[in-house]
Amino acid sequence: MQVPQDGEDIAAQPWYHGPLSRQKAEALLQQDGDFLVRASGSRGGHPVISCRWRGSALHFEVLRVALRPRPGRPTALFQLEDERFPSLPALVHSYVTGQRPLSQLTGAVASRPVTRQGHIRRSFSEDTLPDSPARTELLRARKWSDSQPAGLEQVGRTEDHPGPGASTMPTSALPRTGSDPVLLKTPVPVGSIPDSLRASDGQLHAKGPTKPPRTPSLMLPDASGRPPTYCELVPRVPKVQGTAPGHSCPEPEVPWWEAEEEEEEEENGCFARPQAEVSLSPLGKPSCLLGPQNRPLEPEVLRTLRGLFLEHHSESTALHLLLVDCQATGLLGVTRAQRRAMGVASGLELLTLPHGHRLRLELLERHEALMLAGALAVLGCAGPLEERAAALKGLVELALALRPGAAGDLPGLAAVMGALLLPQVSRLERTWRQLRRSHTEAALAFEQELKPLMRALDEGAGPCDPGEVTLPHVAPAVRVLEGEELPGPLDESCERLLRTLHGARQMAQDAPRFRETAARRLRGFRPNPDLREALTTSFLRRLLWGSRGAEAPRATRLEKFQRILSVLSQRLEPDH
């Protein structure tokens, strides 16, 4: 078997098929161990490893972590789970020759490459891969002046003679690295470019070249108003027209989940009284997936969401959910103004205090919306029985990716498990039987690992160490502090109440450690903007109840949607 060497070009590898759809890739995978690498069309050409394992076609997204350009080291690293590699061929070489599982969850091993037939069709994403021929030729044809871009007359233009089958993706969506010239949608007059960006700086002035940006991949604002296309990093930079001559543009900020927490200055060492209740999941945000006014459960939006979740493996979805949960809980992304208003530094502390009432309601709302959306993913499958079983399997795999020791997102885990344990879902006997028959490992993991774990977490006896857990299970404490009764036997209620209150106190004390764990786990992660929005509370409320129904009282909305789920469940498997 031919295995790739580290120095080989990506396009020269026989297992690299270039732009290839998910369906065509699955058709090429015939036996267990067959694998290929393709450029995903829905992810802007990012590499995906498709592999057949135990009768199922699995797809593993390769994460690309951009690095600050330095001599003697790669411009990016590639990874599947923890270990990072300087190139995509190096990653494949390590996993294939070492017979290592592509993911610990699935245990899939890639051992037999599927060789492509014919010439490869070029994808624009090849420019972002190191050692690719497209990138090499592009660098040879480009003029350089130290680290400054030269040839401003080429800015905004595409190549004069694109090769056959070249992608028609707009150039503004092309991820750039290092000091590559940033492509604009339309040619920009040279006079409107600030002096700090002129190519002659490195030639006519005695000063050295401008320091490369800390985050290499950039995207300028799109004049059309459309949402930015996904790439490794899409920070917004100021428009160049407003920059005074002689002043360089500021470096783009790092993502807020990687930024260092601002130190709050103490005022005479006095306690800062909270000013107002703070909302960490505000409604009314503009949506890229929904229109200004939408109806509940619009079919077109549901199809878009289905494609999004199919394109991401469970580990990637778990990281997206962890990121949104950390922001909704106030563990990451809390501004200085919000901390002053809260009187504390973290939402984990705020939810234990009397003025954390609004945050507690938002967390309950989020838990219920995620749970109902997960149940809808199963009950909305009106096709064959195997389709519903596959939806169950997807939720079980997501729960496994969220559990302690993996992503460690316990609020997300609780919502997914809540969906699987809803009466409308658990009553589907034929569907669960098909899951046990077709996906035995997922069924066993649900019964033997996930259900006991969830029971222990609800009783306050589950894992809660910040090293193993990124975001603690807050639902029991939130319900108690909002006056709801804990489920379970009455003779154990006092003991369970004490455990819940003790856990809430410990959770507030460990908030800084949880924040460090979350920042470490999300370091280098670059989310898909659409998938990230699809997991926010405001989007889920509008998706499930529509733009008008989302404003109805919480109890009314829950009762209405429970009836909808009951009707769907009865249609799938009527009572005899």
**Domain assignment of residue 33, yes or no:** yes
**Domain assignment of residue 105, yes or no:** yes
Residue that finishes a domain, picked among 89, 112, 128: 128
Residue that finishes a domain, picked among 98, 128, 158: 128
The pLDDT assigned to 337 comes to: 83
The pLDDT assigned to 230 comes to: 35
Nearest Cα to Cα of residue 46 among 61, 29, 60: 61
User: What domain range includes position 398?
Assistant: 299-572
CATH code of the domain containing 105: 3.30.505.10
Tell me the whole-structure pTM to 2 decimals.
0.60
Torsion sign (Cα): 299, 301, 303, 306:
negative
Going from the C-alpha of 35 to that of each of 32, 131, 355, the distances in angstroms are: 9, 22, 54
**Domain assignment of residue 252, yes or no:** no
The pLDDT assigned to 57 comes to: 87
**Domain assignment of residue 554, yes or no:** yes
Residue that finishes a domain, picked among 87, 110, 128: 128
Number of domains in the chain: 2
Could you count the other beta carbons within 10 Å of the beta carbon of residue 181? 18
The pLDDT assigned to 105 comes to: 73
Q: Reduced to 3 states, what is the DSSP secondary structure of residue 368?
A: helix
Pairing verdict, β 84-85 and 112-113: unpaired
**Domain assignment of residue 62, yes or no:** yes
The pLDDT assigned to 493 comes to: 79
The pLDDT assigned to 417 comes to: 97
The pLDDT assigned to 243 comes to: 35
The pLDDT assigned to 43 comes to: 64
CATH code of the domain containing 468: 1.10.840.10
Nearest Cα to Cα of residue 15 among 80, 100, 91: 91
Q: State how far the Cα of 523 lies from the Cα of 518, in Å rounded to an integer.
A: 8
**Domain assignment of residue 30, yes or no:** yes
**Domain assignment of residue 159, yes or no:** no
Give me the average pLDDT of each 10-residue run along the chain (576 residues).
50 88 89 91 79 88 81 82 85 90 84 84 45 45 39 38 41 40 41 39 41 40 39 35 37 58 47 69 82 91 89 92 95 87 90 92 96 96 91 96 95 97 96 95 95 92 90 94 82 84 93 94 89 94 92 92 95 88
**Domain assignment of residue 216, yes or no:** no
Structure tokens at 86: 């300087």
